[in-house]
Amino acid sequence: MSKLIGVILINYQDYAAKYLAACFASLKRQNLGNFSYRIYVIDNASSPESLSYLKNNYPDAYIFPRPDGNYAAANNLGIKMALNDGCDRFAILNMDTELEENCLLEMAQALESDSQIGIVQAKILLYDQAGKNNYQPRLNSLGNLVHFLGFGFTRGYGKREEDFDSFLWSAPYPEIKGYASGCALMIKKEVVDKIQGYNEEYYMYHDDLELSLKARLAGYKIVLAPRALIYHKYEFKRSVKMIYYMERNRYLFIFSFYPWRLIALLFIPLLLMDIGMIFYSLLGGWFKDLARVYRYYLKAETYRLISQERKNIKSFQTIPFK
């Protein structure tokens, strides 16, 4: 049985110059036991400068350029390259992270512990040098939650670990009832084969939600590995610039996964939320981004893609959505 982990990191423009040195150093320090790994850096929205930087500074990594910045497609490419090299576990990691020495090992062991486990998330902590040194960092995510109107959000953000002791140690690997954060997850080959990886239409944001929910509908559990520690240099201000994909993909998730009767039941709450979003966008100066979302859902091609995705999900679904 293969013991090879494919570690997939996505670069975007100058992210590698800012973050990769520390992330790469933490990967080099990994205690892997009987496992081994290969690092795949996908240079998303690649330029001659970014590609040259990566090849010159990280000769130990497998580097693949992509042109358009599609994060979901970049992860699919990384998984494909790792599959070709014989990897049967895939660690999807944000580049702006640093891993504790046993992080990958703990995640891989969790994935091995139960055949029903399909995805494992590390315990993601907010990077803070003083807090890290004192072993009292704040939480970034213990697994993400999803609101019935399609909003995803982190569980435990900004809180102390002791506030979640009953969850963290309720089992060797507590089950995440929502979805695994795309910042630090590990997925096994049989799940990827069954659910066909990421839906590239999402481009970015909600991609981890759709990946996780497909795995759950295929009958797999998503769990937290409490001893797999990773520190995330999280900056929300980078995310709010991507409101178009957040809102577009919120509806893409709803229309792709929710039964039509549930969508009908939620029509009024969704409408009221949209009215609120319109006012909020006018006040915040991003109404043009919201208008782009509405234009996306006025195209017939959008509904053809949604229909195809609903059929794809039905082809591997083994448990009811409810």
CA 316 to CA 181: how far, in whole Å? Answer: 22
Q: What integer best gives the mean pLDDT of the chain? A: 93
Model confidence over 46-72: pLDDT tens digits? 999 999 999 999 999 999 999 999 999
Model confidence over 239-292: pLDDT tens digits? 555 889 999 999 999 999 999 999 999 999 999 999 999 999 999 888 999 999
pLDDT for position 68? 92
Start-to-end CA span in the chain (Å): 35
Q: What is the Cα 127 distance to its own chain's centre?
A: 18
**pLDDT confidence tier of residue 130, bands split at 50, 70 and 90:** very low
Model confidence over 183-204: pLDDT tens digits? 999 999 999 999 999 999 999 9
pLDDT for position 235? 75
Of 261, 228, 191, 240, the closest CA to residue 106 belongs to: 228
pLDDT for position 30? 97
Model confidence over 139-158: pLDDT tens digits? 999 999 999 999 999 999 98
Encoded tokens for 30: 């990994």
CA 154 to CA 218: how far, in whole Å? Answer: 23
CA 293 to CA 249: how far, in whole Å? Answer: 9
Model confidence over 218-227: pLDDT tens digits? 999 999 999 9
